[in-house]
Amino acid sequence: MIQAEIKSLLREDISILIKIANSGKHYLCDCGEASQLTVKEIQSVSAVFISHTHIDHFSNFDGIFRHQIGSGERVVICGPKNIHHQIEARLKSYTWNLIDEKAIEYEIREIISLKEINVYNLRPPHWNLELVKTQNFLFEDDQVKVDFAILDHKTDSIAYMFKEKDSVTFHEEASGFRKGKWISELKTAFENNDTDLEIQIEGAAYKAADLFHLLTRNQGYRLGVIMDHAADKENYEKIKAVFSEADLVYIESFYKDSDQEFAKLNYHSFASASGKIMKECQVKEAVPIHFSRRYTETDVIEIETAFYKAFREN
Ligand SMILES: [Zn+2]
Ligand SMILES: [Zn+2]
């Protein structure tokens, strides 16, 4: 199960922590002020996902690496075009004469296009960028795979979809056989669609496909984070392609409907537009996030009401 916690208070800039059940690893979406983020949580972050580098999404990057440095860990940072230079500039703005070269290692993944990701290494104390390779996927570890859309916010704004790996359940009571290593062999054959594999059970051989009815595939939980974006058709096509039928999506709803001319001007979204696109994506659950800091709590309630009205409308 993937869980998300909003770590910023109302009137603070946005930061969302993603936690994976049964894993000590966390992921962080954007680096706003996030006063609710603890040092322990920051030290468990193995990957940071930056939507774009407007100051409200990137100002606390220093606060994050302040607590990561010295861990000796490798931390992945994903972000839009030029993210590698912006991180390099931040790191080079401090003095590092007392820091060991093994204090940390950043691996930066710069999103050029959907199938072109440049991977850079960045290490103390000199923080000189080293281009390692170009790859055609963004992020995958043993827990999750991350898909993304490149949205227009008058600059690239990356929306991320965290997809837990599918799991396979074995129905023991239906099998009639004794337990054994054949169960894991069958699961592997099922995952690889290896229908002809011969499975030995209690001295007899069975074709894997004939036993597949003992298994069911459970689709992994899918959680999306969509930050700043213009409420327009092109962005919505991209959002639908990645986030349709997700379990839960957090989506920027910066303005009230009555301020939607500002949304248009600033390439942002507004309450009912964000609710409507989530409805069109048929996501199971959606949460509006990242409201203009000039809004009061009453304004925020107005945003949430308009958002959920559009989301749940028949
Ligand atoms: Zn922005
Ligand atoms: Zn923003």
pLDDT digits (tens, 9 = 90+) for 232-290: 999 999 999 999 999 999 999 999 999 999 999 999 999 999 999 999 999 999 999 99
pLDDT at 23: 86
**Residue range(s) defining the domain that contains residue 59:** 1-166
In this structure, is residue 92 part of a structural domain? yes
148 CA to centre of own chain: 8
Alpha carbon distance 267, 55 (integer Å):
16
For residue 306, name the pLDDT band (cuts at 50, 70, 90).
very high
Rounded mean pLDDT of 170-183? 88
In this structure, is residue 223 part of a structural domain? no
Give the Å distance between the CA of 159 and the centre of ligand 1. Answer: 12
Read off the DSSP letter of residue 211: G
User: Are 134 and 282 in the same domain?
Assistant: no
Alpha carbon distance 44, 305 (integer Å):
35
More confident residue, 175 or 77: 77
pLDDT at 258: 97
Retrieve residue 32's tokens. Answer: 């706003």
Residue position matching structure tokens 């040092």: 39
Retrieve residue 80's tokens. Answer: 């839009």
Give the Å distance between the CA of 35 and the centre of ligand 2. Answer: 17
In this structure, is residue 224 part of a structural domain? no
Give the Å distance between the CA of 120 and the centre of ligand 1. Answer: 24
Smallest-distance ligand from the CA of 252: 2
User: Are 34 and 44 in the same domain?
Assistant: yes
**CB neighbour burial string for 209-246, b if at least 16 within 10 angstroms, e if fewer:** eebeebbeeeebbbbbbbbbbbbeeebbebbeebbeeb
Q: At what angle do helices 271-280 and 233-243 cross, to 10 degrees?
A: 40
145 CA to centre of own chain: 9
Give the Å distance between the CA of 66 and the centre of ligand 1. Answer: 24
pLDDT at 271: 98
Question: pLDDT (tens digit, 9 = 90+) per residue, 53-67?
Answer: 999 999 999 999 999
Give the Å distance between the CA of 172 and the centre of ligand 2. Answer: 50
User: Are 6 and 143 in the same domain?
Assistant: yes
Give the Å distance between the CA of 156 and the centre of ligand 2. Answer: 12
Residue position matching structure tokens 């680096």: 31
260 burial type by CB count under 10 A (0-12 exposed, 13-18 middle, 19+ buried): middle
Amino acid present at 85: H
User: Are 61 and 171 in the same domain?
Assistant: no
User: Are 273 and 197 in the same domain?
Assistant: no
User: Are 67 and 130 in the same domain?
Assistant: yes
Average pLDDT, the chain: 95
Is 135's pLDDT higher than 80?
yes
Give the Å distance between the CA of 305 and the centre of ligand 1. Answer: 23
Q: On the CB side of 65, how many CA atoms lie within 13 Å of its CA? A: 23
Give the Å distance between the CA of 55 and the centre of ligand 1. Answer: 8
User: Are 155 and 171 in the same domain?
Assistant: no
Give the Å distance between the CA of 205 and the centre of ligand 1. Answer: 60
Give the Å distance between the CA of 128 and the centre of ligand 2. Answer: 29
User: Are 299 and 162 in the same domain?
Assistant: no
pLDDT at 172: 83
Alpha carbon distance 100, 39 (integer Å):
21
Question: ∠ CA(179), CA(185), CA(190), 5° rounding?
Answer: 115
In this structure, is residue 53 part of a structural domain? yes
pLDDT at 12: 86
Query: Residue 282, Cβ neighbours under 10 Å: how many?
Result: 11
Query: Residue 288, Cβ neighbours under 10 Å: how many?
Result: 23
Give the Å distance between the CA of 175 and the centre of ligand 2. Answer: 54
Total domains in the fold of the chain: 3
Give the Å distance between the CA of 56 and the centre of ligand 1. Answer: 7
In this structure, is residue 310 part of a structural domain? yes
User: Are 237 and 146 in the same domain?
Assistant: no
Question: pLDDT (tens digit, 9 = 90+) per residue, 10-65?
Answer: 888 899 999 998 888 999 999 998 889 999 999 999 999 999 999 999 999 999 99
Q: What is the CA radius of gyration of the chain?
A: 22
End position of a domain, from candidates 129, 148, 166: 166
Give the Å distance between the CA of 153 and the centre of ligand 2. Answer: 10
